[in-house]
Structure 1
């Protein structure tokens, strides 16, 4: 089966989502951080699958340092060319999930609607790397697709049952977990059945 977004379709996708606000999962995570004591230096986030910066921009606006990572060179170019970017607080990499090496003691790993694109055979090591990168008390926020999602039929994408998501989150205190399931459309207007897990979780101390 063909990848749901390939080639020039990424350009169409970036155009379709341009100007949209940050994801709710990120906003919930940031609200949790803001209830904690203000750090003496800027907090540090990794934005996985950052695209053209939908979430990265919000992190930078709030004074965070951000490492934005995306496999698409076009995404990184669009991010770096956005107006109002605090370039001194932003680092970017063009890398695939299965090739990533993470910094350690990260305050937040944000992964909005991107982890499904990690090949299934590489997902366990990617998830372990995410867990290890986050400092105790730091957070993960993002999404996983469920086993009833339309994209679960693509063998090169990963998906998870509810009990598998629970197992993945054992190293964390779950602060927000919302399961969403309904027919709908993609950003490109394609009919799709959505089965999603929206996650905000704090790593155990």
Structure 2
């Protein structure tokens, strides 16, 4: 089984997922708002979700620890760069602005170190205004990448505990064997989340 490492080939990953559509979680969250606001895209990658937020006239801070990700995002055609701010930073050193309406973290939070995750999760909550939304993904405890010390995985009960300060608008659990975008065998166990801060 291939387990992710900090030396993962992110260039190959970005190449493999190029031009994919925005994820269901960000589409669900955006549809729940009556008007646009301020958003953060944590671990934005090449910007598939960032672009959708910009298309809906949101002001977006897109953050990724990989410079190549930010470079690819900025190279996308037809994006409103006046509404976009970018930052290269790891989750462990991240400082988040206050009074944010939406924080998106698609398939990125599992790669925050286990020691830093509780602090990051608190920062996300504190950054959101009341009524603001978090959307994104967490890996489940039966995900095969859970064998890596670099990946955070949670039981459903633990996910529900993390979401107690929120009103859950979407919580779907997905579990099946499959492959990664790079063709690696993997047992997927994922939680798809949209939650509104109470």
Work out whether the TM-score is over 0.5: yes
Q: CA deviation at 1:48?
A: 0.4
Q: Is the CA contact (8 Å cut-off) linking 2:2 and 2:184 kept in structure 1? A: no
Give the whole-Å Cα distance in 1 for the aligned partners of 2:3 and 2:60: 29
2:153 and 2:71 mapped to 1: Cα distance? Answer: 29
Which residue of 2 is the match for residue 129 of structure 1? 123
Q: Tell me how large the CA RMSD over aligned residues is.
A: 1.4
1:61 aligns with 55
Tell me how far apart the structure 2 counterparts of residues 60 and 51 of structure 1 sit (CA, whole Å): 15
- Cα deviation for residue 31 of structure 1 reads 1.1
Quote the Cα distance in structure 2 between the aligned partners of 1:152 and 1:120. Answer: 11
| 1:91 aligned residue | 85
Match of 1:80 among 49, 74, 82: 74
Instruction: Tell me the distance in 2 between the aligned counterparts of 1:104 and 1:146.
Output: 29
The answer to whether residue 184 in structure 2 is matched with residue 190 in structure 1 is: yes
Matched residue, 2:25: 25
Distance 1:62 1:53 in 2: 14
Normalising by structure 2, report the TM-score: 0.96
- Which residue of structure 2 aligns with residue 13 of structure 1? 13
- Which residue in the other structure is 2:171 paired with? 177
Q: Secondary structure at the match of 1:126?
A: helix
- Give the one of 44, 48, 51 matched to 1:50: 44
Q: After superposition, what is the alpha-carbon deviation per residue over 1:162-185, rounded to whole angstroms, capped at 9, x for unaligned?
A: 111011001100001000100011
Aligned length: 198
Flag structure 1 segments of 5+ consecutive residues without an equivalent.
none
1:114 matched residue in structure 2: 108
Q: Which digits, 9 at most, give the CA deviation of each residue in 1:131-150, with x for residues without a partner?
A: 00010000000000010001
Q: Which residue of 2 aligns with 1:150?
A: 144
In structure 1, distance between residues paired with 2:141 and 2:82: 41
Alignment-derived partner of residue 161 in structure 1? 155
TM-fit CA distance, 1:4:
1.5
